[in-house]
Structure 1
Amino acid sequence: MNQPTEARLLAESDIMWAEVGQSRPHESAQLHVLGTANYVDDIREVQGTLHAALGLSQKAHAKIRAIDLEAVRNSPGVVAVCTAADIPGANDCGPIIHDDPILADGLVQYVGQPMFIVVADSHDNARRAARKAVVDYEELPALLTPQQARDANSFVLPPMQLRRGQFEQAYAAAPHKLQGKLAVGGQEQFYLEGQISYAIPKEDGGMLVLCSTQHPTEMQHTVAHALDLLSHKVQVECRRMGGGFGGKETQSALWAGAAAIAANYVKGPVKLRADRDDDMMVTGKRHCFWYEYEAGYDDEGRILAAKVEMLTRAGFSADLSGPVATRAVCHFDNAYYLSDVDIVAMCARTNTQSNTAFRGFGGPQGAIAIEYIIDEIARNLGRDALDVRKANFYGRDPDGARNTTPYGQPVKDNVIHELVAQLESDSSYRARRAAAREFNAMSPVLKKGIALTPVKFGVAFNTVHQNQAGALVHVYVDGSVLVNHGGTEMGQGVNTKVAQVVAQQLGVDLSLVQVSATDTAKIANTSPTAASTGADLNGKAAQDAARQICERLAQMVAKEYGADPADVQFRNNHVHVGGRALPFKQVVAKAYLARVQLWSDGFYATPNLCWDSKTMTGTPFSYFAYGAAVSEVIVDTLTGEWKLLRADALYDAGNSLNPAIDKGQVEGAFIQGMGWLTTEELWWNQMGKLMTHAPSTYKIPAVSDCPEDFRVSLYKNANVTDSIHRSKAVGEPPLLLPFSVFFAIRDAVASVGDYRVNPPLQAPATYEAIFNAVTAVSEG
């Protein structure tokens, strides 16, 4: 393993002592349990703090002929009402294309779009007043589905296309062919802590914004532009979030911008906390996708040609739909070599919420299409779908002909063959599959299904410049360490992992390292904590900063004891030199007296990345993470009800930085992905109003939906790429593991037709959808 920057300061013989690779508790675990972890709404309010609420549109697409706010202003406790005319700078919170106003100005484009801000003495008074506006709308035609938008040629971006080989010729020559359609719904992020921003005016026209956000720098830009300020006048801070899942990457900008606009208007602190219904009405979701596909294959099920048209609901503005669609295109292959492909993605402009990032960021939507195709191929051939999957895997030889993705990136770290073989054996997949079929033959109503599905997921931002991070490390005279980095903590444990990395580099116990709030006044120009890169980027940056401190201390100690600085080692809270073990605290105190700098900044930029958006080719990913899961379900064919009996997941986290946290992430991602594909259904009425806008109408998985038998393991596999301690990301890729749940349900439904009919099961596979699929198979 080539780790030149670490080998000089951490000998291989000292690996027995380590903070990295250990299952350490989440750095805020005790605070979470005791209820003392501070979120934005827990911060003690500044004297004179007012509260804001948003006035929302009741029409999907309309001109605002007139708006009467008199009743709003006269409501109890109301101090001010702000409209677009009160924004001193840019009325925009679009992250890439500036087509997303903070407040609608003369035109509303979806039900729930903010039109004005009410500022009052209490949260409740602000919300009550916001509902009293009288709006005169001139309704315009509304496009409410992606298909309507496609037919009207309404897109937020031009369609994108990736081709390799000659699909038409390969398809025409294939022994077998199939065609079909698939619908996969969107998903609400449903973070426990809703959107919230607290804006506090500072001296000389500055603004402090305490915000629940995955992207403090984007919030800084939005507020600065809205208030017509330079960025150095705006400070954004985030200690922690109660979940984000992508919903707080860009869409927290509207709330940060609105809070700052209101605070600037009243010249005092303003908190904007979204009620859950308002939050779900205003914010975007995971993009739903509609697929039309064709595939040609041989007698073994090997795919010879594949074509897919992916149509996605972007919503009324672009937001991150372009990058999401790009990632979907780049993950259509999943774990399979596709020689001749034609992949098209279109982002439909609809009069609904502007959809945004969600865990997986288009990757799950891209990969599920090829899995659906393979599932159909296997049933058409009467083969086990696992065997068809294996026949299509990327090759084992890193330099072989079957090891290049459709977008041109070589797959040099492929372990999918070994990983799937291990899971197949450990889970007793073959025996359980046979047992399920025996059960089904004797059970006319209850049917079992089982499926094993793989994952190959690319890790990095597919916009190259975002693959960078900065960090600060301070060592104090008492030997304690403070770390600040550009990542944000949303419960995923990035602060814990970064602290472990710094503790390892300095050779001190984890208890001596503290990570402070993410703050744009400390780390400038941060990238969002997204794309599973939080620990990868910020861990490397923090390690770089700590390494520089170690080098300075090593120089000082080596000079004093006549040693080579390269022989100075840091471990067990001591500095080792020439057979001596000096307490770390003592060395630090000496360094201070010797005027040695005890703090440092660190920086990291992921190397070897490139992407050509015009040709849709390049090396967009630093490496691939792999995994697989087996799910066994039982379905009641009379009602469509189902239950997950057992789930086995094996995930490639590389050299895991913290196995306990990584396993927890796999478990959480699995259940969240299962919810997306089964219970979580978004529904808009004919007027364009989102009707699933509260926990009473939108069902995320509950404890009772989790399998009683849930087995999660980490695959032993050091990253071939020089990632932080050769670990691999574990935020997004495991969300694809519950594909196995969906296809296990489909397997159970197919048993109704003796496995000879491909069930027309769409996602989410709700009870109703399952019942309809059972009926179709029975009649087919």
Structure 2
Amino acid sequence: MKDLSTLTGAVHHDRIHDSAVKHVTGRADYTDDIAEPAGTLHAYLGVATVTHGTIRAMNLDRVRQAPGVVDVLTARDVPGVNDISPTGRNDEPIFPDTVEYHGQPIFAVIADSRDAARRAAELADVSYDVLPHATDALSAQAAGLPQVTDPLKLERGDVAAGQATAPHRIKARMTVGGQDHMYLEGQIAFAIPGEDDDVIVHCSTQHPSEAQHMVAHALGVPLNAVTVNVRRMGGGFGGKESQMNLFAAVAAIAAKRLHRPVKIRPDRDQDMTATGKRHDFVIDYDVAFDEEGRIHAVDGHFAARCGYSSDLSGPVTDRALFHADNAYFYPHVRLTSRPQKTNTVSNTAFRGFGGPQGVIAAERMIEEVAYALGKDPLEVRRANFYGSEGRDLTPYHQQVTDNIIGRVVDELADSAQYQARRAEILEHNAQGGILRRGIALTPVKFGISFTATHYNQAGALVHVYNDGSIHLNHGGTEMGQGLNTKIAQVLADAFQVDFDRIKITKTTTEKVPNTSATAASSGSDLNGMAALDAADQIKARLVSFAAETWGVTAEEVRFLPNAVQISAEVVPFDTLIRRAYMARVHLSAAGFYKTPDIHWDRAAGKGRPFFYYAYGAACSEVTIDTLTGEYRVDRTDILHDVGRSLNPVLDRGQVEGAFLQGMGWLTTEELWWDDRGRLRTHAPSTYKIPLASDRPRIFNVALAEWSENRERTIKRSKAVGEPPFMLGISVFEALSMAVASVADYRVCPRLDAPATPERVLMAVERLRAG
């Protein structure tokens, strides 16, 4: 593709991330880089040393007397409401009376240095009345712990009738592990007190308006007293959507109480123990199918480890059900969730937001059918794809009208030479030997929109200054994904000006109020349309001014690269802006967008929760060592649908990163709690994310350049943040094939995730033992 990145209006073309040079040279400013005013204090959390119990007594005298300590905060020092639950269920105290998980924050130390605060936090003398605990979904259910929120049921057709007509039926269970966000920049908040009730909070959050709400709630002040600023984050992945609330609230309470700036930055161990993860699931599935591999009925139950409070577990477990069909039509289906309370940290949003857990259940059922019938799993996948009328209704009763999965899969199968490579791998494995190989091609269909319908809105603020420079502010947050670059490209295209003319400013609740989280892959869709709305308002005023001043019709005014054509005359953009300013034309606009045509009735389990679907497919090949369980990913080919890409190079980067993160979730990233309820994988030394050396040896990523969104999204593009995460399932399925080869593919290996080398080895031994 020709590089047009230096030209005006360069959407749909490669453009470097606006902060890329700053990232690699260290000049990108994050919250911890903000110059600290004189008198800045530092906070650190004191945490519980039991997993479940009532605090009998808490003696903090030694903490207060420690060198450098200025103050200690406990529950009684919260001036407003001692709760930061994002769903308003009042089940997530800042500082609790009853400890619900090991490592739960129970007080905060404020000192003149971070080191002094951290050392002092270890000196607390706390006694507890210890209570029984349960740390996983099944043991918690057996112990009678409640669900943290209302479960969901999706149902269509008659499952019992579908099961009765099918000649084959398989019932089994799959355990799918959680995942830590492992962002490069950890949680951090920096609060600066102002006059009256005012406080400014700089923090690393994906949801500035929620942080604003929680700080105001904790301080007992109106929202207009709290300003939350975010210039950029060093990664988020959902871990900074609601989990920032605690840190922002503690910093703000201390700052207002002491009338001094306060910063809180936990170390990595405390960050990992005190913040939630991706939900791990126990999935019970019952799939009925025929000799052709076509599924007749599915009955699935999804139990999730949610932690001690609701957090976002309701919508996360809902979305798992929304995606339990993946790209497949189930004639008869019943899906139920169980958001189970456990004595662990409250789990939260993570890229895909429950969708990956649903998709992997769908792929496991396809795998079961394929092994039971002795078929190529891809053949079974194709037999069950959504299709024409009669096979186009989801379990939540939304019609799939934009289905392109067949074309995506066919093109990838051809370009990756799937059939020839599979035949060669079967021949290799038939010879026996220690090293076995596997290959899998898996699809993804992913719905785009917040399932909480009211979140599908965005605002933007655009100023055109009288020298022709442009100021852009929107409600989305930049966490490395290139959102600011894309929105600026949209604005440059609208005004037909150079990209460098636009100044992208920090996200702040002072400029755009009531913002939605930058999540659900919606950042570009929502904020791009809001910015375009603002630009269109200003352009309409400019056109009206030009038509009146030059005595022409509005149709004779046209925006050109860095200029405006007015009938036969071409006027430089700067000149027109200056003249409009002198004529008192308003050159600022607040844009707004809300996603149309979506609705959802949760009680009925019916609606159109998604505006459209994004599609993709990945083909991965692996080699395993059957003596050790170790493996490598030899090759991955990806074809992904992003509609008409706003910026192909950024979108390819998102696909590559999402795939590797999804692969890590299913292979190396294992969370482990011991029998005392302590998280033992709480640092990079004990928790393994994929390294550069773990990437596929051959890695081919392509975008479906022929695709264009049928819905009126920003420039007919599609979301890219979350959908490609599920492409990592192709590695998991390829590992399964390699394991299955030791029993001549007669048995589904039923790998649990993550498929660590230990689990791969145990599966090999189990199949060999027969």
Q: How many residues align?
A: 762
Q: Please tell me whether residue 341 in structure 1 is matched to residue 333 in structure 2.
A: yes
- 1:558: Cα distance to partner? 1.8
Partner of 2:4: none
Residue number among 686, 693, 701 corresponding to 2:682 in the alignment = 693
Moved more, 680-689 or 151-160: 151-160
Say if 2:478 is the partner of 1:489.
Answer: yes
Match in the other structure for 2:101: 110
Please name the residue that 1:332 is paired with: 324
- Stretches of structure 1 that go unaligned for 5 or more consecutive residues are 1-15
What secondary structure is seen at the aligned counterpart in 1 of 2:725? Answer: helix
SS of corresponding position for 2:302 = strand
Taking the aligned partners of 1:98 and 1:394, their CA distance within structure 2 comes to 38
| Sequence identity (%) | 53
Partner Cα separation in structure 2 for residue 370 and residue 63 of structure 1: 42
The CA distance in 2 between the partners of 1:757 and 1:778, in whole Å, is 11
Select which of 220, 224, 228 maps to 2:220: 228
Calculate the TM-score normalised by the size of structure 2: 0.98
* Contact 1:149 1:155 (8 Å CA) reproduced: no
Gaps of 5+ in 2: 1-6
**What is the alpha-carbon distance in structure 2 between the residues aligned to residue 429 and residue 248 of structure 1?**
39
CA contact (8 A) 1:99 1:317 kept: no
User: What is the aligned counterpart of 1:39 among 27, 30, 36?
Assistant: 30
- SS at 2:617 equivalent: strand
The separation in 2 between residues aligned to 1:280 and 1:772, in whole angstroms, is 29
Partner of 2:424: 435
Deviations 1:122-144 (A, max 9, x none): 11111010011011111011121
Identify which range, 564-573 or 630-639, moves more after superposition.
Answer: 564-573
Q: Does the CA contact (< 8 Å) of 1:84 and 1:116 recur in 2? A: yes
Deviation at 1:693, TM superposition (A): 0.3
**Is 1:257 aligned with 2:249?**
yes
Residue 3 (structure 2) aligns with: none
Q: 2:258 maps to which residue?
A: 266
Which residue of the other structure, out of 202, 219, 225, is the alignment partner of 1:210? 202
Counterpart contact for 1:635–1:642, Cα < 8 Å: yes
Q: Return the letter of the residue paired with 1:387.
A: E
Structure 2 residue aligned with 1:172, among 164, 185, 191? Answer: 164
2:726 paired residue number: 736
**Cross-structure match for 2:66:** 75
- TM-aligned CA deviation for residue 566 of structure 1: 2.8
TM-score (norm: length of structure 1) = 0.97
Residues 472 and 542 in structure 1, CA contact (< 8 A), matched pair in contact too? yes
Deviations 1:506-531 (A, max 9, x none): 11011111210000011110000000
Deviates further, 733-742 or 579-588: 579-588
Report the Cα offset of residue 22 of structure 1: 1.2
Query: Following TM superposition, by how much is the alpha carbon of 1:264 offset from its aligned partner in structure 2, in angstroms?
Result: 1.7
Asked if structure 2 preserves the Cα contact closer than 8 Å seen for 1:99 and 1:318, the reply is no
1:707 aligns with 2:699: no
Decide which moves more: 172-181 or 145-154: 145-154
Residue aligning to 2:753: 763
Which residue is equivalent to 2:233? 241
* Residue number in structure 1 paired with 2:14: 23
Deviations 1:548-603 (A, max 9, x none): 11111111112233322133222311112213221111110111111111111100
Which residue pairs with 2:116 in the alignment? 125
**1:625 Cα deviation (Å)?**
0.2
Give the counterpart of 1:723 among 684, 688, 713.
713
**Equivalent in the alignment of 1:149:** 140
Give me the whole-angstrom Cα distance separating, in 1, the residues matched to 2:94 and 2:508: 26
Instruction: Please report how far the alpha carbon of residue 723 of structure 1 lies from its aligned counterpart in structure 2 after TM superposition.
Output: 0.4
**Structure 2: how far apart are the matches of 1:324 and 1:101?**
17
What letter corresponds to residue 365 of structure 1 in structure 2? Q
Paired residue secondary structure (2:468):
coil
Equivalent residues of 1:760, 1:776 under 8 A apart? no
Structure 2 CA distance, aligned partners of 1:472 and 1:18? 19
Q: Tell me the equivalent position of 1:94.
A: 85
> CA offsets, 1:353-401, max 9 Å, x none?
0000000000111111010010110011111100100000000x3xx11
Alpha-carbon offset, residue 103 of structure 1:
3.1
Contact 2:8-2:498 at 8 Å conserved across structures: no
Asked whether the equivalents of residues 461 and 591 of structure 2 are also in contact (C-alpha less than 8 Å), the reply is: yes
2:647 to 655, 658, 661: 658
Distance in 2 (CA, whole Å) between partners of 1:694 and 1:322 is: 28
Distance in 2 between residues matched to 1:38 and 1:391, nearest whole Å: 51
User: What does 1:469-488 correspond to in 2, within 5 Å?
Assistant: 469-488=458-477
SS in 2 for 1:649: strand
Q: Is the 8 A contact 2:150 2:314 kept in 1?
A: no
Contact kept in structure 2, 1:102 and 1:258, CA below 8 Å: no
Q: CA RMSD in A?
A: 1.0
Q: Distance between the aligned counterparts of 2:198 and 2:291, measured in 1? A: 68
Alpha-carbon displacement from aligned partner over 1:467-519 (angstroms, at most 9, x marks no partner): 00000001111111110000000111110000000000011011111210000
Letter in 2 for 1:81: V
Q: Deviations over 1:318-349 (max 9, x none)?
A: 00000001111111110011110110100010
Residue type of the partner of 2:374? G
> 1:675, 1:701 within 8 Å by CA — same for their partners in 2?
yes
How big is the shift at 1:102? 4.2
Q: What's the counterpart of residue 562 of structure 1?
A: 551
Shift of residue 159, structure 1, vs aligned partner: 2.6
For residue 595 of structure 1, what is the aligned residue in structure 2? 584
1:13: which partner in 2? none
Asked if the contact 1:72–1:130 (Cα under 8 Å) also holds between the matched residues in 2, the reply is yes
Counterpart code for 2:624: V
4+ residue runs over 4 A deviation? none
Q: For residues 505-544 of structure 1, what are the structure 2 equivalents within 5 Å?
A: 505-544=494-533
CA contact (8 A) 1:68 1:135 kept: yes
Q: Partner amino acid for 1:324?
A: V
In 2, Cα distance between equivalents of 1:685 and 1:182: 21
Alpha-carbon deviation of 1:443? 4.3
| Aligned residue number for residue 137 of structure 1 | 128
**SS of 2:433 mapped into structure 1:** coil
Of 653, 657, 661, the residue aligned with 1:668 is: 657
Q: Is the 8 A contact 2:8 2:497 kept in 1?
A: no
Q: CA deviation at 1:17?
A: 6.0
